Amino acid sequence: MARHHVLKSATERTAYREIKIVAVRSGSLRVLVDNYETLAHTGDITVLPAETVFHVVPVPQASITCIYLDPEYALDLVYWQYRGRLSHRAEAHVFAERLYGDMRIIVRLGKRALRTFGGGEARRVRFGG
């Protein structure tokens, strides 16, 4: 499921059952998780794991698109992508934890790439301690 929002004020602290992928279409956004925050700008994509309590603050306004991904479907994707290393789907959960752990990922596509969905440089950012 995907939704488009224009944020003009801070959101409430919340957590979703799904993995939340946030694409910043315009403006900037402060993403706060626990005692950590990061700034996402136009062209950035932030990935938040399921059950992560967070809230966002637009700076001063942001247009975003949110995509919600079922965690079980994500595990299926990990299993099929790494099936050469995994003997059973149940191993995908442990393998995904090793790969991603409690990392939140920010992909810096930039304004130009966001329009064309071209390449981008991914970097992992650890939220919290």
Domain extent listing, the chain: 2-126
State pTM to two decimals: 0.74
pLDDT, position 114? 54
| Phi-psi map region of 85: left, alpha, beta (phi>0 left; psi -120 to 50 alpha) | alpha
pLDDT, position 119? 40
Q: What amino acid is encoded at 58 in this protein?
A: P
Lowest mean pLDDT among 32-41, 58-67, 99-108, 115-124: 115-124
2-126 classified as CATH 2.160.10.10 = no
Average pLDDT over the chain reads 81
56-97 pLDDT, tens digit per residue, is 999 999 999 999 999 999 889 889 988 898 988 888 888 888
